[in-house]
Amino acid sequence: MAQIVDDRKSATIERRAKLFRGFADPSRLAILGALCNEPLAVHEIVERTELSQPNVSNHLRCLLDCGLVASDREGRFIRYRISNPRITVLLNDVDALLDVVAVGVEACDNYREA
């Protein structure tokens, strides 16, 4: 019984961690940031983020699998968009938290700076 509770708890934690990892990458954040303004085709994302095309495609696949973005084919373009407004909410929350902890976060050298 306690075991079941533990399993359920840790399963929740693992899911949270995995979702956070989805956001914990500059490239994916750049893509999501670009898509927050408007839906975009892949080559447009490539232009705006200055990431390589395969790189963008890889991350889009990840974001798509995770359900964070959705895609619609339009002729030979594929237009990607944010799948759920909660994502924007989350990004805003992070910015709000950053207003408070930005200094500390930048100072933390337990993981990489850039």
Residues that contact its own copies, how many (by CB under 8 A)? 55
Is residue 93 part of the contact set for its own copies (CB under 8 A)?
yes
Question: Whose CA is closest to 90, among 41, 42, 32?
Answer: 32
Site for its own copies in 49-78 (CB under 8 A): 58, 61-62, 65-68
Residue 78's binding partner, choosing from its own copies, DNA, none, with beta-carbon cut-off 5 to 8 A by kind?
A: DNA
Partner from DNA, its own copies, none contacting 76, C-beta within 5 to 8 A by type = DNA
Question: Using CB under 7 A as the criterion, which residues of the chain lie in contact with DNA when the complex forms?
Answer: 21, 24-28, 41-44, 46, 51-55, 57-62, 71, 73, 75-78, 110-112
Least separation in angstroms between residue 1's CB and its own copies is: 17
Residue 82 backbone zone (phi > 0: left; psi -120 to 50: alpha; other: beta): beta
Report DSSP letters for 17-81, one per residue: HHHHHHHS-HHHHHHHHHHHHS-EEHHHHHHHH---HHHHHHHHHHHHHHTSEEEEEETTEEEEE
